[in-house]
Amino acid sequence: MARSLLKAGKAKVFKRYPFTIILNKLVALDFQGLQLKIDPGSKQTGFAIVAQSEEVIFAMVLVHRGQQIKNALERRRTLRRGRRHRKTRYRKCRFLNRKRKKGWLPPSLRHRVLTVETWVNRLCKLSPVSSLAIELVKFDTQKIQVRLVGH
pLDDT digits (tens, 9 = 90+) for 37-55: 999 988 899 999 998 888 8
C-beta separation of 62 from 17 below 8 A: no
C-beta separation of 111 from 45 below 8 A: no
Query: Residue 51 falls within a domain, yes or no?
Result: yes
Angle ∠(59,60,66) on CA atoms, nearest 5: 155
Query: Residue 66 falls within a domain, yes or no?
Result: yes
Task: Say how many domains are in the chain.
Answer: 1
Please list, in sequence order, all residues whose beta carbon lies within 8 angstroms of the beta carbon of residue 47, skipping any fewer than 6 positions away.
Answer: 36, 37, 38, 39, 58, 59, 60, 61, 62, 119, 123
Share of the chain above pLDDT 90, in %: 27
State how far the Cα of 12 lies from the Cα of 14, in Å rounded to an integer. Answer: 6
C-beta separation of 111 from 64 below 8 A: yes
Query: Residue 63 falls within a domain, yes or no?
Result: yes
Query: Residue 99 falls within a domain, yes or no?
Result: no
State how far the Cα of 128 lies from the Cα of 126, in Å rounded to an integer. Answer: 7
- The residues with which 131 forms a beta bridge, in sequence order, are 35
Query: Residue 44 falls within a domain, yes or no?
Result: yes
Query: Residue 1 falls within a domain, yes or no?
Result: no
The per-residue pLDDT for range 47-105, each reduced to its tens digit, is: 999 988 888 988 999 998 888 888 998 999 888 888 777 766 666 667 777 788 898 88
Domain that holds residue 129: 31-93+105-133
Q: What is the pTM of this model?
A: 0.65
Query: Residue 61 falls within a domain, yes or no?
Result: yes
Query: Residue 23 falls within a domain, yes or no?
Result: no
Q: Tell me the average pLDDT across 19-36.
A: 80
Q: Please give the backbone phi and psi of residue 137, each rounded to the nearest 5 degrees, phi first.
A: -130, 130
Measured in whole angstroms, the distance separating CA 148 from the mean position of its chain's CA atoms is 32
Q: pLDDT higher for 26 or 132?
A: 132
